Amino acid sequence: MSDAPYRIEVMHGVNLDQLGRRDPALYGTLTLAELERQVGGDAGELGLQTRFFQTNHEGDFVERLHGLDGHADAILMNPGAWTHYAWAIRDALEIAALPAVEIHLSDVHRREPWRRVSVIGDLCFATIAGQGPAGYRAALTLLRERLQRGPE
Ligand code: DQA
């Protein structure tokens, strides 16, 4: 095993660039840039390297997943509303074949019924929802543990 830090691809999907303008009761008050700074800082403390990506275009999200081979060891993914119906993203995540955690700022399990559906959930080894930005640190910790354990 090399000593290089594990590389985590942190991927945000549709409308997450609008954090700071969205309902603070659901999503908090941080902008995406502030959230990414916090996640990057937490990752550094955990000895992880992060790379961030956000798009509102599903095809770009899919192509980012296609290009991860050799550039990332694991994925932390908040696809926004795509979570609930974007089968093409599910297929691309399967192709990426990396350990992944699904994350949501809000508690998708206690909102509208359609938000309880995740088309990516069973490809992710954990889902964290409803913990706000703190959930990202929990997710990074899970990813680190998983990578340290090695392939399952
Ligand atoms: C979200 C939850 C989704 O249902 C919603 O469409 C989002 C954000 C979250 O982080 O809580 O855009 O993924």
Check which CATH number belongs to the domain holding 126 and give it.
3.40.50.9100
- Tell me whether residue 85 is one of the annotated catalytic residues: no
Active site residue 109: no
What per-residue confidence (pLDDT) applies to 120?
A: 98
Tens-digit pLDDT profile for residues 33-53: 999 999 999 999 999 999 999
Distance 146 CA to ligand 1 centre (A): 25
Q: 97 vs 2, which has greater pLDDT? A: 97
In a domain, 23, yes or no: yes
Considering the domain boundaries, does residue 1 fall inside one? Answer: no
Q: Which pLDDT score, from 0 to 100, does residue 150 have?
A: 87
Closest CA to 126 of 67, 51, 75: 75
Q: In the predicted model, is pLDDT for residue 2 greater than 80?
A: no
State the alpha helices, DSSP H only, in the chain.
Answer: 24-27, 32-45, 58-66, 87-96, 134-149
61-93 residue pLDDT tens: 999 999 999 999 999 999 999 999 999 999 999
115 within domain boundaries:
yes
State the distance from the centre of ligand 1 to the C-alpha of 150, rounded, in angstroms: 30
Domain total for the chain? 1
Q: Is the distance from CB of 121 to CB of 94 less than 8 angstroms? A: no
Q: Which domain holds residue 143?
A: 6-149
Q: Give how far Cα 127 sits from Cα of 25, 78, 102, Å.
A: 21, 10, 5
**Exposure of 118 in the CB half-sphere (CA atoms within 13 A):** 22
Using a cut of 0.85, tell me whether the model's pTM lies above it.
yes
